[in-house]
Amino acid sequence: MSKEQENNKEQENNREQKNKGKNNKQIWIIASIAIILIVASAVLVYLMVGNNNEDDSKISYTDLIKKVSDGEVEKIEMTVGSTSVKVKLKDIEEEKNSIVPNTQAFIELIQEKVEQGIEIQLEQKQRNVLISISETLFTLLPTIMIVALFVLVFKMQGLGEKGKVYDDTTTKVKVKFDDVAGLEEEKQEMIETVQFLKEPEKFTKMGAKVPRGILLYGKPGTGKTLIAKAIAGEANVPFISMSGSEFIEMFAGLGASRVRKLFEKARKLAPCIVFIDEIDAIGSRRTSGSGAETENNQTLNQLLVEMDGFDTDETIIVLAATNRPEMLDKALLRPGRFDRQITIAVPDLKGREAILKIHAKDKKFAENVSLKSVAEDTAGFTGAELANILNEAAIVATVNEHELIEQSDLDEAVKKVTVGLQKTSRVISEKDKKLTAYHEAGHAIVSRYLETQEPVKEISIIPRGVAGGYTMYKTNEDKSYISKTEMQERLVALLGGRAAEKIALNDISTGASNDIEVATKIAKDMVTVYGMSDVVGTISINTEQDPYELQLLGEKYADAIGAEVKILLDNAYLKAQSILSAHMDKLHEVAETLLKQEVITEEQFDKFFE
C-alpha cells in the first residue's frame, strides 16, 4: 500500500539494522552466558541447600549439643570434608540435619561425651562423588564466572588472539575506477589523490599540500567504500579499513587505543589508504557528557591527534564515510583533517544504467532485454540496490527455468526488491480483497487528479511482502527538489487509500497504517525541517534526536508545531475525500476491475479517464 520510495527507505533501515546487529550479537552472547551461569548457580544452590535444609528436619548446632549432652541422640552421621551432619534422635523415627561449625572440634566433643558414658554412635562416611563435584563447582563458580567473562570480553576486543589486535582488513585491492560506474566527476576529483599516492615526492617538491582526509557523504550503498577501494587499486597501495562502530568499545580507552594501533599500522604500510566507514559513530559532536559519551570523545580526540601528527613524508590518505554529515563534530572538518568533502549522490538515470551494465557483465541475458528500462523504473535506487536487482533477476530466471535472464525476470526482480515478494499462496478473504481494491483504487484515482503526482504505473491487489496490495508510480524524472505543493499533494495521495475505504465501504482498516505513518513523517518534516509552515516559520527543529531543541523554543512552539502537522494531515484527508466523492463512478469502476483481474496496468488505468 505504499510507493516505491518508501520501500527503498525500508531497505535502508533494514541495512542499518543489520549493521547494528553485529554489536547486538556480541551483547547477546555475553547476556546469554551470564544468564546460563546465573541459572546454573541457582540450580546448584538449590540442589545443595535443598539437600540439607528441609525446614522442620533441621536442628540448630546449640540444640544438637544440648541433645547430645542430654543423651537424646542415638546416632550421628558425618561426611568427610562436609560440615553438614545427619542426626538420629532416640524418640523420633526420621533423621534431622544440622551444620557443625568445626568438624574436628565436634568429633572431639562427641568423644568426650562418650567418655562421660553417654551412649551415642558416630559414623563417618566418604562423601558422595556427585555432591562433592557440585560443591567444588559451587565454591569455584564466582571465579569461573569472572574468568569466563574476561575471556569473552578480551576475545571480543580481539586482544585474546595473537596477531588479531584489531579487526581491520588490509588488502591489496583489485578494484579500479572502471569498476565504479556513474561517479565520473567524483572519480575525476580523486585522480590527484591517486597521483599523490603514487609519486608523493613530485607534490612535496612543488610545496603542494594534498588533502590528507577526504570525507564521503552519501546514503549506504552508494559506492563510498567502492570508490575508496578504487583509489587504493589505482595507486596500487594497501587498503586498511575499519568501521566506526567497531571503535565504540565497552571499556574506556580501548576505542582510542584502537585508533592509535590503526594508524601505527598505516605508518608501517605507507603509502596507503585508511578507510573509516560510519565515522559518525566516533565523530559525532563532542559533548561534556559522561560514560559512553566521554569514551566517544577520547576516541575522536585520538583520531584528531593522529591526523594532526602526519609527517610530510608519510603518505597516508584517510577516507571516511558517513550518511549523517550533520552529526559530525566540526573539529573533524578543520584544515589538515577532513578538509575535503565529497557528496556521493544516488545515481541518476545514466548512472543507473551504467551501474546495471557493470553488474550485468557476469550474467547472461536474453537479447531483447533492456537495462535502460530497468534504470527508468529505479529512480532513487543506490548502486548496491541495483546490483541486488540483477542478482534477484538471475534467481528469478533460475526458478522460472529460463535459459537466459528475460525482461519479465528483471521486472519481477524490481518488484521483488521494491514491494516485496509476491505471495500467491496466501488465501485472502473476499472482504479483505474488496477493502484492498478500494484502498488501492483510492490511491490511484486521487493521484490522477493531482497535478504534481507521478502517473500510475500499476495497481495490484496481489499481496506482496507485508502489503496487501500496491500502487506503483512511474518515477522517470530524477529531481533534486520537492516543492511545498508537491509535498501537500503527496499527503493527499497517501491518504487517498484510507479516504476510499471510508467513502466506499463506510469503514476504515489497519491497512492504511503505513500510509499514515509516512504522511505524518512528511507533514512533520514540512514544518520542522523544511520551514514550510507560515505559523511556525522558517526554522529547523530537530524533534527526533534532540528533545531539548524543542524545549529551547518553549511550549508555545511545540504546540504550534503539533497543530500545524495536524492541520496539514486533516486538510490532505479532506482533499482526498472530496476528490473521491467527485469521482465515485471511477472509484467503483477501478475497484471492481481490480477485484476481477487483480492487476491494472498503466494503459488500462489511463483508459478509465478517456
d(CA 541, CA 378): 32
**Is there binding between residue 244 and ligand ADP (CB under 6 A)?**
no
Pick the piece of the chain touching Zn ion (CB under 5 A) from 1-9, 45-53, 305-313, 425-433. 1-9
Single out the residue of 305, 313, 244, 311 nearest to residue 274, CA to CA.
244
Pick the piece of the chain touching Zn ion (CB under 5 A) from 205-213, 223-231, 454-462, 492-500. 492-500
- Partnered with residue 317 across adjacent β-strands are 273
Among 298, 497, 519, 533, binds Zn ion (CB under 5 A): 497
* Residues of span 582-601 touching Zn ion by CB under 5 A: none
Pick the piece of the chain touching Zn ion (CB under 5 A) from 51-59, 183-191, 255-263, 514-522. 514-522
What cell was used for 540?
A: 529547523
Q: Which does 233 bind (CB under 5 to 8 A by kind): ligand ADP, Zn ion, none?
A: none
Based on CB atoms, which residue is closest to ligand ADP, 68 or 317? 317
d(CA 158, CA 393): 39
Based on CB atoms, which residue is closest to ligand ADP, 7 or 471? 7
Based on CB atoms, which residue is closest to Zn ion, 281 or 444? 444
Work out how close the CB of 539 gets to ligand ADP at its nearest, in angstroms, rounded to a whole number: 31
Among 211, 383, 497, 511, binds ligand ADP (CB under 6 A): 383
Work out how close the CB of 283 gets to ligand ADP at its nearest, in angstroms, rounded to a whole number: 16
Site map (CB under 6 A) of ligand ADP, residues 314-353, x = contact: -------x--------------------------------
d(CA 157, CA 249): 8
Q: Could you tell me how many residues of this chain bind Zn ion (CB under 5 A)?
A: 3
Q: Could you tell me how many residues of this chain bind ligand ADP (CB under 6 A)?
A: 18
Q: Which does 497 bind (CB under 5 to 8 A by kind): ligand ADP, Zn ion, none?
A: Zn ion
User: E strand or H helix at 20, and its extent?
Assistant: helix 4-52
Work out how close the CB of 321 gets to ligand ADP at its nearest, in angstroms, rounded to a whole number: 6
Cα dihedral sign, 54-57-63-68 = negative
Contacts 24+ apart (CB under 8 A), 54-57: 54/97, 57/94, 57/95, 57/96, 57/97
Based on CB atoms, which residue is closest to ligand ADP, 15 or 286? 15
DSSP 57: G
Single out the residue of 402, 410, 400, 397 nearest to residue 370, CA to CA.
410
Strands 121-125 and 73-79: what pairing? parallel
Work out how close the CB of 47 gets to Zn ion at its nearest, in angstroms, rounded to a whole number: 58
Work out how close the CB of 600 gets to ligand ADP at its nearest, in angstroms, rounded to a whole number: 34
Work out how close the CB of 499 gets to Zn ion at its nearest, in angstroms, rounded to a whole number: 11
Q: Which does 295 bind (CB under 5 to 8 A by kind): Zn ion, ligand ADP, none?
A: none
d(CA 51, CA 58): 11
CB 87 within 8 A of CB 97: yes
Based on CB atoms, which residue is closest to Zn ion, 280 or 515? 515
Phi, psi of 199 (to 5 degrees): -135, 75
**Is there binding between residue 384 and ligand ADP (CB under 6 A)?**
yes
CB 238 within 8 A of CB 272: yes
CB 150 within 8 A of CB 157: no
Q: Which does 67 bind (CB under 5 to 8 A by kind): Zn ion, ligand ADP, none?
A: none
CB 447 within 8 A of CB 496: yes
The one-letter amino acid code at 68 reads V
CA–centroid distance for 63 within its chain: 63
Among 4, 454, 515, 564, binds Zn ion (CB under 5 A): 515
Work out how close the CB of 383 gets to ligand ADP at its nearest, in angstroms, rounded to a whole number: 2
Inter-axis angle of helices 254-269 and 292-308, to 10 degrees? 20
587: region left, alpha or beta (phi > 0 left; psi from -120 to 50 alpha):
alpha
What cell was used for 276?
A: 573509516
DSSP 250: S
Q: Which does 48 bind (CB under 5 to 8 A by kind): Zn ion, ligand ADP, none?
A: none
Q: Can you tell me whether residue 126 is helix, strand or coil?
A: coil
Q: Which sequence positions are flagged as catalytic?
A: 440
d(CA 509, CA 516): 12
**Is there binding between residue 387 and ligand ADP (CB under 6 A)?**
yes
Q: Which does 221 bind (CB under 5 to 8 A by kind): ligand ADP, Zn ion, none?
A: ligand ADP
* Residues of span 167-226 touching ligand ADP by CB under 6 A: 180-183, 218, 220-226
Work out how close the CB of 584 gets to ligand ADP at its nearest, in angstroms, rounded to a whole number: 47
Interacting residues with Zn ion (CB under 5 A): 1, 497, 515
Interacting residues with ligand ADP (CB under 6 A): 180-183, 218, 220-226, 321, 355, 358, 383-384, 387
